[in-house]
Chain A
Amino acid sequence: MTTNKDQRKFDTKVQYLQYKVLREVARGALNDNLLENITDIPKTIIPGNVPTMRCCVYKERAIIAERVKLAMGGDRSNPNVIEVIEIACDDCPTGGYEVTNACRGCLAHRCEDVCRRNAISFDHQQKAHIDKNLCVECGQCAKVCPYSAIVSRRRPCENSCKVKAISMTDGKAACIDNNKCISCGACVYQCPFGAIIDKSFLLDVIDMMKKSKNNTAYKMYAVVAPSIASQFTYAKLGQVITGIKKLGFFSVVEAALGADMVAYKESAELVEKGFLTSSCCPAFVDYIRKQFPDLSSHISHNLSPMATIAKYIKETSSPCRVVFIGPCTAKKMEFQKPEVRPYIDSVITFEELQAFFDAAGVDITTLHEGVLDNASYFGRIFARSGGITDAVGQALKEQGLDKDFDYNPVTCDGIEACRTALLKKSKGVLPNNFIEGMACVNGCIGGAGCLTHGEKNKTEVDIYGRQAMEKSISDAISVLHLSSDDKKPDSSPAKNG
């Protein structure tokens, strides 16, 4: 067994468990025996009689059976790509702010002074109590208590969900409001019981792969997100690329080249319109549409980098199928939108790619290093917060648009930062003229579908950016001006020379 080695690839045991389920499902699909073996998967993953996660192995296996369903695509009648596994939800306490027995009954009563709602009272031992009817969960009392005696009993899922889409069912399990959910996956990553999971389309990809008949019926293209540079750290990036081809993909293309194309067009659009919000993060775009519909006219009209490069591939290299591989659960939502569906055939995460490798018996550490070099430095740094801001600034310069236009961007990572900027804009007090919005903290490298979320990930992306052969956006996209799209008169002007 290589359990320890396997586990090192993931941040948490929840991810590791999820990976094992995906791997078994993928293995069954690759061996054409999934349906015969599907009922055995829970026992394969939970073999013994001693429970390690729940009350008994039978519950553990029942939950695995639910995970198998999600790994096979989940509930097709639910349009959301994020789903709750009700029996896996531990019904965490939801009490909000509570005083613990660390309260020493001090004299200062800072908690009382800071509470604007007069929700705090004291018993005969001077210990604090919070009146739940008055408390608005502002958290000020917890901040000022010198003993840290006041804690928030909010559920991790609710806490992580900055769009407030998670509530509780009558049975106390978590429940997602699809009208608010932006599929960012924050709850998927934060739930300590792994009860909220993104649906997998890995079986669709395997099916497409088989029907391509070794890339003869059509070619299979993998478009990889630049955040891949911070992933699969146990191997070289070039080995990951060779591994993806070993799985049966005809070629691997950088989504970052799509980012170069987007930066180029988005900067021109910004000058034309005077104010713009970025288009690459699907969760951010969805957030504006759902919570700030009045601002949706300011969303850049460009497709995301993923869809932009896939459109180019479809136009130049058909017949083909394009699969996006990235850190993002919201991309699974984005590719189903009518404006993106013609270009992207499926989306899987890095987590799912790891499961795919292992199901197919591809050990990437033994492979030779392939090459991946399509984009510029600027396209590649889209993977981390601040990258779009830099790239749009660079594209303005390269097109000579920076002379008469005062570029004043604001970089927002995490929905809370995005909300602040959007609120200011809606009140007419935002001084900036470009909002870079990323739903995940730190940008795509913080995505829920990443195997690891480390401190060094930003550095890894920057190093990868600097390794790009092309140093400017114009140089990276110059080869693309050949495409039929850019010959149309309504498209942006081609680079000089």
Chain B
Amino acid sequence: MVKVTVCIGSSCHLKGSRQVVEELQYLINKNDLGESVDLGGTFCMGRCGENGVSVTVDGDYYAVKPESVLDFFNDVIVKKVK
């Protein structure tokens, strides 16, 4: 099980965490990864200055922009699952 946590604090919310969450949900369902990815939210990761929405995958930090969610999903999450 890969644990993916998206920051939904104010700063990330304004940078598009809702879009990131919705797209990740969509991609997880489309690729039938619901059983292997645990998607969650948290308020603030303390890295509000980053250029992108804060996301952790099994504790590793990434700053993800709403427009690059697909790349992030393929490059990080899918690889991690495999």
Report whether A482 and B40 are in contact in the complex, using a CB–CB cutoff of 8 Å: yes
Q: How far is A221 from B17 in the complex, measured between Cα atoms in Å?
A: 19
Residue contact B13 to A251, C-beta cutoff 8 Å: no
Chain A, 250-268, CB within 8 A of any chain B CB:
250-254
Note all chain A residues with C-beta closer than 8 A to B40: 316, 482-484
**Total residue contacts A-B, CB cutoff 8 A:** 60
Q: What B residues does A372 contact at CB under 8 A?
A: 10
B6, B9, B17, B18: the one contacting A251 at CB < 8 Å is: B9
Give chain B nearest CB distance to A200 CB in angstroms. 26
Complex interface: chain B residues within 8 A of A480 (CB): 8, 41
Tell whether, in the assembled complex, residue B41 and residue A374 are in contact, meaning their CB atoms are under 8 Å apart.
Answer: no
Give complex CA distance A482, B22 in Å.
Answer: 10
**Of the residues B14, B18, B41, B43, contact of A371 by C-beta under 8 Å:** B14
Bound: A470/B40 CA distance, A: 20
The answer to whether B22 and A478 touch across the interface, beta carbons within 8 angstroms, is yes
> What CA separation (Å) do A149 and B44 show in the bound complex?
62
Q: Using Cβ atoms and an 8 Å threshold, which residues of chain A touch B46?
A: 215, 250-251
| Cα separation A371 to B39 with both chains bound (whole Å) | 25
Q: Does A373 contact B (CB under 8 A)?
A: yes
In the assembled complex, B77 has its CB within 8 A of some CB on chain A? no
Asked whether any CB of chain A lies closer than 8 Å to the CB of B74, the reply is no
Indicate if the CB atoms of B14 and A317 lie closer than 8 Å: no
A470 to B10, CA, bound (A): 12
A316 to B39, CA, bound (A): 11
Indicate if the CB atoms of A373 and B41 lie closer than 8 Å.
no
Chain B residues, CB < 8 A from A253: 9-10, 43
- Closest B residue, CB atoms, query A371: B10
A317-B11 in contact (CB<8A): no
- One digit per residue, 1 when the CB lies within 8 angstroms of any chain A CB and 0 when it does not, for chain B 25-66 equals 100000000000001111110100000000000000000000
| Minimum CB–CB distance for A311 against chain B, Å | 13
Interface membership of A207, Cβ < 8 A? no
Specify which chain B residues have a CB less than 8 angstroms from the CB of A241 in the assembled complex: 10
Q: Give a binary string over A299-329; 1 marks a CB under 8 Å from any B CB, 0 the rest.
A: 0000000000000010011000000000000
The one of A215, A250, A252, A374 in contact with B8, judged by C-beta atoms closer than 8 angstroms, is A374
What count of chain A residues pass the 8 Å CB interface test? 26
A251, A372, A497 — most chain B CB neighbours (10 Å): A251
Q: Which residue of B lies closest to A478 (CB)?
A: B18
Given A373-B14, A479-B6, residue A316 in contact with residue B43 (CB < 8 A): yes
Which of A250, A316, A370, A469 touches B13 (beta carbons < 8 Å)? Answer: A469
Q: Is the interface of A mostly helix, strand, loop or mixed?
A: mixed
Q: State whether B14 touches A478 (Cβ < 8 A).
A: no
**Residue interface bits A471-491, CB-to-B below 8 A is 1, else 0:** 000010011101110000000
- With contacts A251-B9, A372-B10, A469-B14 taken as known, whether A479 is within 8 angstroms of B21 at the C-beta atoms is yes
Q: List the A residue with the shortest CB-CB distance to B8.
A: A479
Please measure, in the bound complex, the distance between the C-alpha atom of A497 and the C-alpha atom of B19, giving whole angstroms: 12
Q: Specify which chain A residues have a CB less than 8 angstroms from the CB of B9 in the assembled complex.
A: 251, 253, 374
Least Cβ distance of B2 to chain A in Å?
14
Give A208-253 interface residues, CB cut-off 8 Å to B: 215, 221, 241, 250-253
Residues of chain A within 8 A of B39, CB atoms compared:
482
Determine the distance from Cα of A81 to Cα of B21 in the docked complex, in whole angstroms.
41
- Among A251, A475, A478, A483, point to the contact of B44 (Cβ < 8 A): A251
With a CB–CB cut-off of 8 A, which chain B residues contact A483?
40-41
Q: Which of A254, A374, A470 has the most CB of B within 10 A?
A: A374
Decide: A482 near B21, CB < 8 A? Known: A253-B43, A316-B42.
yes
Contact yes or no, A373 B43, CB < 8 A = no
- B63 vs chain A, min Cβ distance (A): 16
Q: Are A317 and B18 in contact (CB under 8 A)?
A: no
Which one, B6, B10, B44, contacts A373 given CB within 8 A? B10
Interface string of A365-378 (1 = CB under 8 A from B): 00000111110000
**Chain A nearest Cβ from B36, distance in angstroms:** 16
**Chain A nearest CB: distance from B19 CB in Å?**
10
Task: State the 7 A-B residue pairs at the shortest beta-carbon distance, nearest first.
Answer: A251-B44, A371-B10, A479-B8, A373-B10, A317-B42, A316-B42, A482-B41
- What residues of chain A have their CB less than 8 Å away from a CB belonging to chain B? 215, 221, 241, 250-254, 313, 316-317, 370-374, 469-470, 475, 478-480, 482-484, 497
Q: List 10 A-B contacts (CB under 8 A).
A: A313-B43, A316-B40, A317-B42, A317-B43, A373-B14, A469-B13, A475-B18, A482-B6, A482-B39, A497-B22
